[in-house]
Amino acid sequence: MVAVAIGLFSRNILFIRRNILLGKAENYSDHPGLRWKNLLLLALGQKKMFRNPLVAVLHLFIYAGFIIINIEVLEILLDGILGTHRLFSAHLGGLYAVLINAFEVLAVTVLLACVIFLCRRNILRLKRFRSGDLNGWPRSDANYILLTEIVLMLLFLTMNASDSMLQNRQNGLEAANPAGDFIISYLLQPLLHGLSDGQLLVLERICWWLHITGILAFLNYLPYSKHLHILLAFPNAYYTRLQVEGKMKNMKSVQQEVLYAMQPEQAPVGDQAPSSFGAKDIFDLSWRNLLDAYSCTECGRCTASCPANITGKKLSPRKIMMDTRDRTEEIGKNIRTHGQFQDDGKKLLKDYITPEELRACTSCNACVEECPVGISPLEIIFELRRSLVMEDSDAPTEWNAMFSNVENNYAPWKLSPDERDAWKNG
């Protein structure tokens, strides 16, 4: 089971890596010290989550509890492979009981946090969880994960309760070192008093098998789920953008075109014009944009803070990221099927993300500021909008008037340069 689970997981992660690398090359190797700091603060410390302390603490319970409790999975695996029972108890002595007690307390906090988050999504129905972006699989995905974590924690506690009872009855279980009772599972034992030793043994083994099977199944569910962010949040935080927030990344090719138009003599002889401006599909985006798409938690904080979305516009930064990921997945499957990409008649621009969405963006950076894992929907919006305007000449009349004024009058308004200060007269 372990070999198959790790093999399948590795295969799917390699597929995702190849998909991400379909994007254009971009160098993010500068300032390694600052990047490690971002990784520790954003991914491990969940710095941005603490803008809402209550939700942050609950999320931290789930995150830390689930990860730390799964340290016990190592013992479960070794017990299964070596035929031992609570292998670490002999080596850790009294510390073993302290650790398992801590794990059980964390298991309860995970249970409580998952129940609260299920209520927030399905009973309180917060606005950002009611959005049409989440219709279908995305909405179910979040619920499946929370329910799975609840089941895994209950299996863990029931396994401990039944195992402790068996050892207390001196059933002759193969454990050489009785583990004793634990702080939380001990409270469950009254529910099991009516079971015989044989039934307790069956219950303990069922919980043992379901727990480890659930962990391995969960591992292979991650590549198909938004919860892949529990892994990709770390590289995403490391490779986050370090420039001042709000600074736009200009296209060098655009700058050169303008400079050469103003000073033709500066243009190199035989210089090739850029093949395209902006992005129409994922191949025109950077690998960093595609890593963003796969790292998206679908939490909706970006959309909830977007002034365009708040005022009823069609734009949803969360949908921008989900659409980019869906298109990347589609192209990845196309390549795996045919050996190379076969034109499917679709593009990220217009087939997935509409001009109406792109034009609604005010470039305010609110979505970037709010994202807990350092994602930038704004970069993708910029690139798609550049293609829309510069490649397709597709812009609203108001924009074209502004472009014309900038070109002719060096300002957005229809005033000659000599009259630039005329607005203040009178």
Separation CA 228–CA 293 (nearest Å):
11
Most distant CA pair in the chain, distance? 99
CA 380, 386, 391, 395: dihedral to nearest 10 degrees?
Answer: 120
User: Among residues 89, 136, 143, which one has the least CA distance to residue 121?
Assistant: 143
- Residue 55 has a pLDDT of 83
Q: What is the mean pLDDT of residues 188-210?
A: 90
Higher model confidence: residue 412 or residue 335? 335
- Residue 271 has a pLDDT of 60
Higher model confidence: residue 153 or residue 249? 153
Separation CA 421–CA 39 (nearest Å):
49
pLDDT digits (tens, 9 = 90+) for 140-151: 888 898 999 899
- Residue 175 has a pLDDT of 44
- Residue 44 has a pLDDT of 82
Q: What is the mean pLDDT of residues 222-230?
A: 89
The phi, psi pair for 188, rounded to 5°, reads -85, -15
Contacts of 71 (CB under 8 A, 6+ apart): 103
The 3-state secondary structure of the chain, one letter per residue: CHHHHHHHHHHHHHHHHHHHCCCECCCCCCCHHHHHHHHHHHHHCCHHHHHCHHHHHHHHHHHHHHHHHCHHHHHHHHHHHHCCCCCCHHHHCHHHHHHHHHHHHHHHHHHHHHHHHHHHHHCCCCHHHHCHHHCCHHHHHHHHHHHHHHHHHHHHHHHHHHHHHHHHCCCCCCCCCCCCCCCCHHHHHHHHCCCCHHHHHHHHHHHHHHHHHHHHHHHHHHHHCHHHHHHHHHHHHHCCCCCCCCCCCCCHHHHHHHHHHHCHHHCCCCCCCCCCCCCCCHHHCEHHHHHHHHHCCCCCHHHHHCHHHHCCCCCCHHHHHHHHHHHHHHHHHHHHHHCCCCCCCCCHHHHHECHHHHHHCCCCCHHHHHCCCCCCHHHHHHHHHHHHHHHCCCCCHHHHHHHHHHHHHCCCCCCCHHHCCHHHCC
C-alpha separations of 77 from 6, 87, 107 in Å: 13, 10, 19
- How many CB atoms lie under 10 A from the CB of residue 288? 20
Average pLDDT, the chain: 87
Of the candidate ranges 179-188, 268-277, 382-391, the one whose mean pLDDT is the lowest: 268-277
C-alpha separations of 262 from 256, 384, 408 in Å: 10, 26, 13
Q: What is the mean pLDDT of residues 259-282?
A: 76
Q: Which two tokens stand for residue 11?
A: 């295969």
User: In this structure, is the dihedral angle defined by the CA atoms of residues 401, 405, 411 and 416, taken in order, positive or negative?
Assistant: negative
Higher model confidence: residue 25 or residue 89? 25
- Residue 414 has a pLDDT of 82
Bridge partner list, 353: 349
Q: Tell whether the model's pLDDT for residue 270 goes beyond 80.
A: no
Of the candidate ranges 2-6, 310-314, 406-410, the one whose mean pLDDT is the lowest: 406-410
- CATH code for residues 252-262+274-419: 1.10.1060
- Residue 174 has a pLDDT of 43
pLDDT digits (tens, 9 = 90+) for 274-332: 677 889 999 999 999 999 999 998 989 999 999 999 999 999 999 999 999 999 999 99
Alpha carbon of residue 309 to chain centroid: 21
Domain boundary assignment for the chain: 29-226, 252-262+274-419
Separation CA 167–CA 180 (nearest Å):
7
Length of the chain: 426
pLDDT digits (tens, 9 = 90+) for 356-380: 999 999 999 999 999 988 899 999 9
Residue with tokens 């957005």: 412
- Residue 288 has a pLDDT of 94
User: Among residues 278, 276, 277, 280, which one has the least CA distance to residue 348?
Assistant: 280
- Residue 71 has a pLDDT of 75
Q: Tell whether the model's pLDDT for residue 166 goes beyond 90.
A: no
- Residue 98 has a pLDDT of 87
The reported pTM is 0.84
Task: Report the range out of 6-20, 196-210, 382-396 with the highest average pLDDT.
Answer: 6-20
- Residue 274 has a pLDDT of 65
Separation CA 15–CA 20 (nearest Å):
9
User: Among residues 191, 137, 138, 143, which one has the least CA distance to residue 164?
Assistant: 191
Q: Tell whether the model's pLDDT for residue 408 goes beyond 50.
A: yes
Of the candidate ranges 59-68, 157-166, 173-182, 241-250, the one whose mean pLDDT is the lowest: 173-182
C-alpha separations of 257 from 183, 260, 273, 308 in Å: 71, 5, 8, 32
C-alpha separations of 306 from 6, 120, 212, 330 in Å: 40, 21, 42, 28
Higher model confidence: residue 354 or residue 90? 354
Q: What is the mean pLDDT of residues 79-107?
A: 85
Q: How far apart are the first and last CA of the chain?
A: 82
Q: Tell whether the model's pLDDT for residue 31 goes beyond 60.
A: yes
Q: What is the mean pLDDT of residues 15-41?
A: 92
* Integer Rg of the chain from CA: 28
